[in-house]
Chain A
């Protein structure tokens, strides 16, 4: 008995050691520092305040994109801070201002509380760019905001669906977590079609981004014997769940299949499903804003308005290429 207890305790200790090691690593990652500029004058100092890459596949790609574009090779000195808490982000932004960066790039955790910091930045002559998320402040406090238009994503996808010219549209609509930006944007355009009577709503349920729940929802429709020919899932994972239900029931899907499968987010694995013809469409919510901001900073482009909508794509299984997968796919 005693020996067993000792064994268990040793195990617990080992786990906590490993964990603390992991924690240490990620900690140093979070405070990440860029390359020290050697020339001094020629490098542009950029401070990036962002959400942590662990938040989502989107954020992971967003962070990677920022680090790739604002690299020493491109003439930048990059300082980064990743945190999901607004007040910690505010402090970091203060820190960047004190250190004296040239540009401050912000994707805020919350839309409020940024007035003071942005005013200080302006006084210090630091130019501010917002990316991915808007902040509730006066437009004069930032140069430009590069953001996604979630409603447009939905419209692009629904337009693609209309272009398929099906004789009838019987749609299973699987929604994301209710109230999230992505859900509202991606639902809006489809709801309009349901309201106009052009498309028939077989079922509209939220799976709250949960893949397994999406499968159960589609299973219940199949079991009810109701006919459908489109699955519109508001992210890739839920589309995969829906497809698993179709596979179990022996219903064909994708190119040349009975059911059209649509997803969002453009994960690499999802785009491969597209390439293989198992799905039909994947809509993008582009995490790639860095190049646009870099162009603005270097004066290669000028902003026509304060709010710049990031151009987003939708991929069709019939036209997608391996290049698209490598360029636009998220994750691995």
Chain B
């Protein structure tokens, strides 16, 4: 029994308990509030495609960028024991690069879009490598190292395009940002699925997952075992760079417009939050990507719920903060340990009474 309780809280599902409970509570709350909240409808959009619509679709679709960033952030967190706070600014740079290439092409076709995305990827990876070098080679605290790009990133994004809100319009871009004709699921959702599969494959075919964990848990021990800690840390930032490029490109494609000041604004805090809600230690070490993904959906579901309840615009953030404080405190090691002990006691009593009864 004792072993059972422990494994429930520490191993396997343990880490996912809190985010899953959070989702369950939000779903329950919404169902009581409005039984039709999660209804999925089928409509024709203005391009004449048959598409799915409804709150559930809005939530899953709206959290796409956050989910992708959270995956990369989990890796950085696990390896470095710190977070990258420049993801929003870097996404603005990547998005601006994406738009710059598209605008300089005489005509937007599939090849140009792929080229633009690859350029955005390279730029974001270079900035990731810049952050990674500061953290891994120069041993600067991740939050301080990434503060540099956080501060200047959106100005750099401005230099790339000049104008405040350049727009691009093309059927390919709107297909990327909303719906591919004939497929009723929003494209960003499909992209999240692809990125998740890529991560799974990466962990399956390489030792990255275990290497990252060991660097995060004990760097010296990892080095003694022949793992190049510097390289693993650097790599985590470069992989996050790829995530940033994908998220930035989705963000641009949604509306066919880049506003360097507002693209994925404040997303860095939500991303770190998603990692934390997912039960990952912000101090590095063991991690679960799936937890962070669920965390991202928890955050978006919370926002959508508040919008649906017409909570006054100025209060939304305050309500969000209350729920998040609760989640994080409940998920903290102290509360977990106390709760675990309580459960053991209850189990013990039950066993005692059962023995007496018999």
Q: Which residues of A contact B (CB under 8 A)?
A: 1, 4-5, 8-9, 11-12, 14-16, 19, 22, 26, 54, 56-58, 60, 175, 178, 203-206, 208-212, 215-217, 219-220, 222-225, 236-237, 240-241, 244, 246-252, 267, 269, 330-332
Contacts and interface: CB of A to CB of B under 8 A. Distances in A.
B104 interface: no
Give me the 9 closest cross-chain CB pairs, A-B, nearest first.
Answer: A57-B164, A220-B307, A206-B313, A205-B313, A247-B46, A210-B262, A269-B167, A331-B163, A223-B55
A217 B58 CA distance: 10
Given A8-B234, A175-B313, A332-B166, 10 more contacts: A1-B231, A5-B231, A26-B159, A54-B155, A220-B58, A244-B178, A247-B45, A249-B45, A249-B53, A269-B257
B163 A57 contact: yes
A332 B257 CA distance: 12
Chain B, interface residues (CB within 8 Å), range: 35 or more
Contacts of A237: 165, 255, 257, 259, 262
A206 to B, nearest CB: 4
Given A11-B129, A26-B159, A250-B43, A204 B313 contact: yes
Nearest to B134: A12
Contacts of A222: 53
14 contacts: A8-B133, A11-B129, A57-B164, A203-B310, A204-B313, A209-B262, A212-B263, A237-B259, A248-B178, A250-B46, A250-B51, A269-B257, A331-B165, A331-B166
Contact of B165 (A4, A11, A219, A269): A269
A244 B312 CA distance: 23
B150 interface: no
Given A22-B156, A223-B54, A4 B262 contact: no
Most buried by B among A9, A204, A223, A225: A223
Nearest to A59: B164
Nearest to B53: A249
B314 A178 contact: yes
Contacts of B178: 244, 247-248
Given A8-B133, A244-B254, A220 B304 contact: yes
Contacts of B308: 220, 223-224
B303 interface: yes
A15 B167 CA distance: 26
B320 to A, nearest CB: 13
A219 B51 CA distance: 14
B44 interface: yes
Nearest to B48: A250
A107 to B, nearest CB: 17
Nearest to B162: A60
Interface of B: 36, 43-47, 51, 53-55, 58, 62, 126-127, 129-130, 132-133, 155-156, 158-159, 162-167, 178-179, 228, 230-231, 234, 238, 251, 254-255, 257, 259, 261-265, 303-304, 307-308, 310, 312-314, 316
Contacts of A204: 312-313
A219 to B, nearest CB: 5
B53 to A, nearest CB: 6
A1 B265 CA distance: 36
A211 B259 contact: yes
Nearest to B316: A205
Contacts of B255: 211-212, 215, 237, 240-241, 244
Nearest to A8: B129
A94 B164 CA distance: 30
A168 B261 CA distance: 36
A273 to B, nearest CB: 9
B43 A247 contact: no
Contacts of A5: 230-231, 234
A12 B262 contact: no
Contacts of A211: 255, 257, 259, 262
A237 B252 CA distance: 12
Contacts of A217: 307
A177 to B, nearest CB: 10
A222 B163 CA distance: 32
Contacts of B36: 225
Nearest to A257: B46
Contacts of B314: 178, 206
Contacts of B159: 22, 26, 54
Contacts of B238: 8
A222 B307 CA distance: 11
A226 B55 CA distance: 13
Contacts of A250: 43-46, 51
Most buried by B among A8, A12, A209, A251: A8
Contacts of B129: 8, 11-12
Given A1-B231, A248-B45, A208 B164 contact: no
A260 B179 CA distance: 24
B46 A252 contact: yes
Nearest to B186: A248
Nearest to A206: B313
B156 A19 contact: yes
Contacts of B43: 249-250
A1 B132 CA distance: 16
Contacts of A252: 46
Nearest to A217: B307
Nearest to B303: A216
Contact of B53 (A223, A236, A244, A269): A223
A114 B130 CA distance: 41
Given A22-B156, A220-B304, A249-B45, A212 B261 contact: no
A250 B52 CA distance: 11
B133 A212 contact: no
A152 B265 CA distance: 30
A9 B304 contact: no
A5 B129 CA distance: 10
A178 to B, nearest CB: 6
A216 B307 contact: yes
B46 A246 contact: yes
A217 B255 CA distance: 14
